[in-house]
Structure 1
């Protein structure tokens, strides 16, 4: 199966597979994004990055070989600014799944997320995937706007609570076909 490179670049960024010595710093970055749990009903996973590095964040029947956890750094300063977690071949071999994308809140509104995803979409298409999928909390309006602006604008499914409420949560799976 084709896979995205272990290291790739955009105009301002370098994206590369997580290294063991980065786990602590990347976990701290992940925790800076814990505000999303107000929209998805989740809780902070204090072992997320280490578990991803060691085992992966796998779908049912998935394999670690098809999993990637990558860090996003500024080219010039090498500052850690984001995290990309993805899976090659879920739910079918021709699908590329974006499990998680986060840009450090200190770097929001600079177009970095868009820059990463635009290059990622180009690579995924070149590697002959037929679609890209991402799961988004329905209450996370900013993320819904972000993904639909980048062409993940088809709703494949709605999962979670069936009725709206303050303590009820649901996600939508967005898809972009090539």
Structure 2
């Protein structure tokens, strides 16, 4: 295997991030998102969104590489208050110390090579450096591999779920939470192959 690493994304990385997102969604999200949503993905528009995200200092975009290839990405930042809220709508008492993993995706053909684990380790470091003590992530209930990945890293559902309306169907997600001091041994396996996220 060529040298594998994680680094902050640059604006020049936006085309590859967009390609990975669109290609992976079209192959791995078929059980989760309606075909119409996947068919309407516009790589050019997605690329423009990624350029904005990379330039926005409110979140960190990280990419995983293997040799010269970009193989995955992760987006992390402070959790918005509403994302931490309980069923009563009241934000968590530790909202100021809660980080959000907004996205973590490895292209399936690069799965099971440790890239997801490296991204998660880097995400934890990034969030801790910003003052977070714990993290949250929303994962579709149908995404068993991602749920297993986060559980392996010591995260667990906190009892809250939400339903997203995609137009043709709904997607139910669970919120998972846990500490950010990941250990390499906990996240050295990637269950992302064939799945939309870790």
Could you tell me how far 1:16 is from its partner in structure 2? Answer: 1.2
Look up the match of 1:116: 119
TM-score with structure 1 length normalisation?
Answer: 0.73
Could you tell me how far 1:127 is from its partner in structure 2? Answer: 4.3
1:26 to 8, 17, 33: 17
Secondary structure at 1:98's aligned position in 2? Answer: strand
2:98 to 73, 95, 98: 95
Match runs of 1:13-162 below 5 Å: 13-19=5-11, 21-34=12-25, 35-41=27-33, 43-44=37-38, 45-46=41-42, 47-54=45-52, 56=53, 64-74=56-66, 77-91=67-81, 92-125=95-128, 127-160=130-163
Aligned residue pair count:
154
Report Cα offsets for 1:148-167 as digits up to 9, x if no partner: 11112132511117xxxxx5
TM-score with structure 2 length normalisation?
Answer: 0.66
> Can you give the 5+ residue segments of structure 2 that lack an aligned partner in the other structure?
82-94, 181-198
In structure 2, relative to structure 1, the CA distance for the partners of 1:155 and 1:40 (3 Å cut) is: farther
Could you tell me how far 1:168 is from its partner in structure 2? Answer: 4.3
RMSD after superposition: 2.6
Report Cα offsets for 1:102-156 as digits up to 9, x if no partner: 1111110112101221343244335431211111000000110011111121325
Look up the match of 1:169: 171
Report Cα offsets for 1:44-82 as digits up to 9, x if no partner: 44223421322x49xxxxxx43122232212xx231111
